[in-house]
Amino acid sequence: HSRNVRIQFIGRRDWRVPRGVLGRIEWATDLTKDNTGLTFTIAFNYGGRAEIVDAVRQLVADGVKADKVDEKAIRARLYDPRMPDPELVVRTSGEHRISNYLLWQNAYSELVFTDVLWPDFRKQHLADAIREFQARERRFGAVSSS
């Protein structure tokens, strides 16, 4: 709190999460809600498919007509609609999949895969991933200009 970091959690807060844990989540979120520095997002009891399902359920509950459903309407009902889409996602452990993580938000993210396991991931590995990212042509779904 003293470092001006806002803590937020994305994911379902349902029966699978013990009440004590929910209480700590609410406490940390409330304590830091007015902080304006870095936002630290924790994906807890989170799944990308579940997030999209929950957003669609909210559209239905809000009475949104089918012809009014668009990307903006769905985005507004994601767990954190203010969170920007990641530009870069680094996947550790040699896996070449996104594992149900931020499915909506990762539509145009650049993915870098590394064999390094998360506990062994260091600043140099991050620097390498950023360099690889910087060398790419970001097209956001368009065809390459070359």
pTM over 0.75? The answer is yes
Mind listing the pLDDT tens digit for each residue in 58-83? 999 999 999 999 999 999 999 999 99
**For position 15, what pLDDT does the model report?**
86
Residue spans per domain, the chain: 1-46, 47-82, 84-137
Q: What is the pLDDT of residues 2-56, one digit of tens each?
A: 799 999 999 998 888 899 999 999 999 999 999 999 989 999 999 999 999 999 9
Per the DSSP assignment, residues forming a β-bridge with 110 are 88
List Cα–Cα distances, 142 to 28, 74, 128, in angstroms. 41, 22, 26
Residue with tokens 């909506």: 104
Query: What is the reported pLDDT for 1?
Result: 72
- The string of pLDDT tens digits covering residues 119-143 is 999 999 999 999 999 999 988 888 8
Separation CA 37–CA 55 (nearest Å): 27
Q: What is the pLDDT of residue 141?
A: 81
| Calpha distance 92→71 (Å, rounded) | 30
Q: Quick one: pLDDT band at residue 146, thresholds 50, 70, 90? A: low
pLDDT in tens, 98-116: 999 999 999 999 999 999 9
The helix/strand count (H/E) of the chain reads as 4, 4
- Do residues 75 and 103 touch, judged by C-beta distance below 8 A? no
How big is the chain by its Cα radius of gyration, in Å? Answer: 18
